[in-house]
Amino acid sequence: MEASDIETYKVYVVSDSVGETADMLAKAAFEQFKGKKFEVKKYPYITNEEEIIDLVENASHGNSIIVFTTVLENLREKITVECEIKGIPYIDVMKEPIKAFEKFLSTKPENEPGIIHRLDAKYFKRVEAIEFAVKYDDGKDPRGVLKADIVLLGISRTSKTPLSMYLANKNVKVANIPLVPEVPIPDEVFEVSNKKIIGLTTDPMKLNEIRQERLKALGLSDTAIYANVDRILEEIDYAEKVMKKISCPVINVSNKAIEETANLILEIIKERNKE
Of the ranges 24-38, 66-80, 184-198, 216-230, the best mean pLDDT one: 184-198
Q: Assess whether 154 and 99 both reside in one domain.
A: no
pLDDT at 106 over 50: yes
Q: Assess whether 244 and 155 both reside in one domain.
A: yes
pLDDT at 234 over 60: yes
Would residue 119 count as lying in a domain? no
- 39 forms beta bridges with 10
pLDDT at 27 over 70: yes
Would residue 3 count as lying in a domain? no
Would residue 118 count as lying in a domain? no
pLDDT at 46 over 90: no
Residue 51: domain span = 8-113
Domain boundary at 63, 83, 113, which?
Answer: 113
Binding residues for ADP: 154-161
Give the least confident one: 18-22, 180-184, 243-247: 18-22
For residues 129, 135, 140 and 146, what is the CA-based torsion angle, rounded to 10 degrees? -40
In angstroms, rounded to a whole number, what is the distance separating the alpha carbons of residues 99 and 61? 32
Report if pTM > 0.85: no
Instruction: Please tell me the predicted confidence (pLDDT) of residue 117.
Output: 60
CATH of the domain at 53: 3.40.50.2300
- Those residues with Cβ within 8 angstroms of residue 217's Cβ, 6 or more apart along the chain or in another chain: none
pLDDT at 3 over 70: no
251 or 76: whose pLDDT is higher?
251
Domain boundary at 113, 134, 165, which?
Answer: 113
Helix (H) or strand (E) holding 116: helix 115-135
114 or 26: whose pLDDT is higher?
26
CATH of the domain at 184: 3.40.50
Binding residues: 154-161
pLDDT at 110 over 60: yes
Q: Assess whether 108 and 158 both reside in one domain.
A: no
Q: Assess whether 129 and 261 both reside in one domain.
A: yes
Number of folded domains in the chain? 2
Domain boundary at 89, 113, 137, which?
Answer: 113
pLDDT at 55 over 50: yes
Mean pLDDT (whole number) for 32-37: 86
Q: Assess whether 166 and 97 both reside in one domain.
A: no
118 or 105: whose pLDDT is higher?
105
Contact 164, 142 (CB under 8 A): no
Order the strands of the 8-14 sheet from edge to edge.
Answer: 37-43, 8-14, 64-68, 90-92
- 12 forms beta bridges with 41, 66
Alpha carbon 64 to chain centroid, angstroms? 39
Q: Assess whether 230 and 103 both reside in one domain.
A: no
